[in-house]
Amino acid sequence: ITHISQTAVCNRLHTFEQRLCRWLLFSHDCLQSDEIILTQEIISHLLGVRREGVTVAAGRLQDAGVINYVRGHIHILDRQKLEARTCECYTVVRDEYERLLTL
């Protein structure tokens, strides 16, 4: 429930780039891999934005040295930079997951 509620708030209050960073961090946590294999079109459907929005945001992250994106392959190059560019929603949900897993 925390994740759903926080995502709703995040979608309303934060930039798409911040939301993409949050999504990349959660994906990185779940996959435990620096590589995420998804096209921009699929990411746009998952996050409810136009594909062009993903192109722009991913381009900014790539220019900043945070990710490398090549035809459906996203490589996270610098997780610390990714965490610095996301909103606080990532930390709120991650901390709640950790709390629940230690019960």
Distances (CA, A) of 35 to 15, 70, 78, 97, 103: 23, 11, 12, 22, 31
Domain count, the chain: 1
**Is 48 a member of any domain?**
yes
| Residue 58 maps to a domain | yes
- Report DSSP letters for 51-83, one per residue: HHHHHHHHHHHHHTTSEEEETTEEEE--HHHHH
Domain for residue 103, yes or no? no
Q: Can you give the residue range of the structural domain that contains 53?
A: 2-97
Provide the whole-model pTM. Answer: 0.87
- Residue 68 domain-assigned (yes or no): yes
The token pair that represents 62 in the structure block: 């790539």
Cross-strand bridge partners of residue 76: 67
Residue 25 lies in a domain: yes
**What pLDDT tens digit does each residue of the chain (103 aa) get?**
777 787 777 777 889 999 999 999 999 999 999 999 999 999 999 999 999 999 999 999 999 999 999 989 999 999 999 999 999 888 888 888 888 888 7
List the CATH number of the domain containing 6. Answer: 1.10.10.10
